[in-house]
Chains A and B, each alone.
Chain A
Amino acid sequence: MASTIRLKTKTRDDITTIRLIVRHPMETGFRVDDETNELVPEHYIKKISFEHNDKLIFSCDWSRAVSKNPYLSFMFKNSKVGDKIKITWLDNLGNNDSLESLIE
């Protein structure tokens, strides 16, 4: 199956910009399903972590108020093209996914 994580990286000098979108419904538990007229149970990512060459560099704690298919961008130093980046998320139902990639 295709990864839920779509990653774009850009490195200039020794600074890398990370941009990603995660495919995830981020259901608040407040939304009513149009067909069943019932509330859709809450389903959202609680944690995402980023490792650069196996070292944790950035991590997030999220609520259900992060938008559907979450977008995130951040920047870090001391990196170069070809370095390893690993992203892992975990949601409130215990689902998780991760992606390993090389920095461009």
Chain B
Amino acid sequence: MLRRSFLKILTSSTVLLFSGLFTPIRLFAEWKDSAFSAKDIDTAIGNYFPNQNIEKTDQIKIEIYDEVENGAVVPVKVKTDLKMVKSITIFADKNPNPLIANFDLTSACIGFVSTRIKVSEPSNVIIIVNANDVLYMAKKFVIVHENGCG
């Protein structure tokens, strides 16, 4: 009996140990809490990209419906021809926490990302692209009828 419970402990602790070992280090890199928990768009952008100028551009194409019934599932597609895209960041300015998602691209990637987000009320969906360490912004207004954050 004793031996069996000892083996059980041994097995479960081994599983714990190994699951820890095999989680890539990247996943423990910083998640910018100060920007994700910000409650207004200016603070969210300012905390995510501190002290950086952001240029308006028409080189970011945002595909999103003009009007969406259910804010819980709003498809967003971002395409850009800007060179050396290092990140694509999505905000919705009226969400309780405007910062929605950041995507870090490497030089192997095409300037493209597609996902689905929650939008709480009619908002500007704001996209910020880091291309060769210059920040560019574009936005598109979306009307939602049903709060997607509840």
Contact = CB atoms under 8 A, between A and B. Distances in A.
Contacts of A51: 24
B110 A76 contact: yes
Listed from nearest, the 9 A-B pairs whose CB atoms lie closest are A67-B116, A75-B110, A73-B114, A61-B102, A65-B100, A90-B27, A76-B108, A65-B118, A49-B26
Nearest to B102: A61
Interface of B: 19, 22-24, 26-27, 29, 31-32, 36, 72-75, 92, 95-97, 99-106, 108-110, 112-119, 148-150
Contact of B104 (A30, A58, A64): A58
A interface: dominant SS:
strand
B25 to A, nearest CB: 10
A11 interface: no
Contacts of B114: 71-74
A49 B106 contact: no
A61 B105 CA distance: 12
B117 to A, nearest CB: 6
B116 A70 contact: yes
Contacts of B29: 47
Contacts of A63: 36, 97, 99-101
B115 A71 contact: yes
B91 to A, nearest CB: 10
Interface string A18-41: 000000000010111000000000
B112 A66 contact: no
Chain A CB count within 10 A is highest, among B29, B108, B114, B117, for B108
A98 B148 CA distance: 28
